[in-house]
Amino acid sequence: MYERFREILVRNDEVLELIADIEDRLAGRAAFSLELVEQRVRKAAMAVFVMVKNVNLLGAGRHSGLYDALRTIDRALTAILLEEHEVGGPLVVPLTSLRAGDAPLAGNKMANLGEVAAACGFRVPAGFAITTAATARFLTEGRLWERCERLEGVLELAGPAAAMELQGFLVGESRPVAAAGGFCGHFDSIRDRWCPAGETLADIAA
């Protein structure tokens, strides 16, 4: 009995930490990633399931209705997460077309750069944003959503070597989406504008 009660407390702390982490990411206090938030939500759901199991066992089955509530919540979460995966919109957006309100499409940094250039008249480097629609299409066509959920654990177990191996795999998988989005054409236009003959963007950055 003590162990079950102790596990309830431990899982409750875990859920609170996951909620705080999600809130930090949504508020911009930590790096935001839709996939990472989804991973946190799923971890929290599993922890709540363990809590419900232990509460029901401690109560000699008197709280079995909690399982029905969990199933309802799980169906709602699944519908939301599937909807998030079906992101529409352009795969690439020029920086000059972005404004602060485009953060869900292009990320905060690129959206704010576009806003600064348009509203304040400051000069910013030429560029383009690969959108969340492109990311969603890449992950969907490569069937990579589940693999991304396991990424954190893989990195913790195998470290940088696993990260390099995964990076090589993702680069190969991304080529069809890159071609469809016209990424190379956007890249070439920036290179032709900013790089003298024979130099690359890497040379300019150095």
pLDDT by residue for the chain (206 residues), tens only, comes to 888 889 899 989 999 998 998 888 777 787 666 677 777 888 888 888 888 888 988 888 888 888 888 888 878 877 776 665 555 678 888 888 999 888 888 888 888 889 988 888 888 777 888 888 887 777 777 666 666 655 555 555 555 655 665 666 566 655 555 555 566 676 677 666 666 555 544 443 43
Burial of 146 (0-12, 13-18, 19+ CB in 10 A): exposed
pTM exceeds 0.75 for this model: no
- DSSP letter string over 101-129? GGHHHH-HHHHHHHHIIIII-------EE
